[in-house]
Amino acid sequence: MPSKFGAIAINEKAGAVAASSNMPSIVEAKREAIKLCESDGRYAPCKANGWVRNGCIAAASGKKLSKFQLFNGIGTQGQAERTAIDHCNKAKASECQIIVPETCSLP
């Protein structure tokens, strides 16, 4: 059974973030996430921030020193959002919230 990949891309300056899922390769997953993040050039340039193979990914945002920060969560189905929030809290960021709901890329 072939692996499936997902990725998250971000433009921190613009506050744009997007995710891809169920792609056949990591390269395609990152490319699709960047494309979705850039929204036809409106938020370019975005860069890949995290990826997953045969699992789930989510992202939380939080403020630290008045700056937007992204915290990825990777895990099995049902765990990625909790992991993202945990990373945000451990970084002592404020206003931690899920901004990319869990998306899974499973074979």
Check residue 14 and give its pLDDT: 84
pLDDT digit string, tens, across residues 47-72 = 999 999 999 999 999 998 888 889 99
pLDDT digit string, tens, across residues 13-48 = 888 899 999 999 999 999 999 999 998 778 899 999
- Alpha-helical segments (H) within the chain: 26-38, 80-90
Check residue 27 and give its pLDDT: 98
Q: Which two tokens stand for residue 2?
A: 């072939």
Domain ranges of the chain: 5-105
CA 68/CA 77 separation, integer angstroms: 26
Tell which residue, 9, 3, 2, has the closest CA to residue 57: 9
Q: What is the mean pLDDT of residues 69-86?
A: 95
Q: Is the full-model pTM beyond 0.85? A: yes
Check residue 15 and give its pLDDT: 82
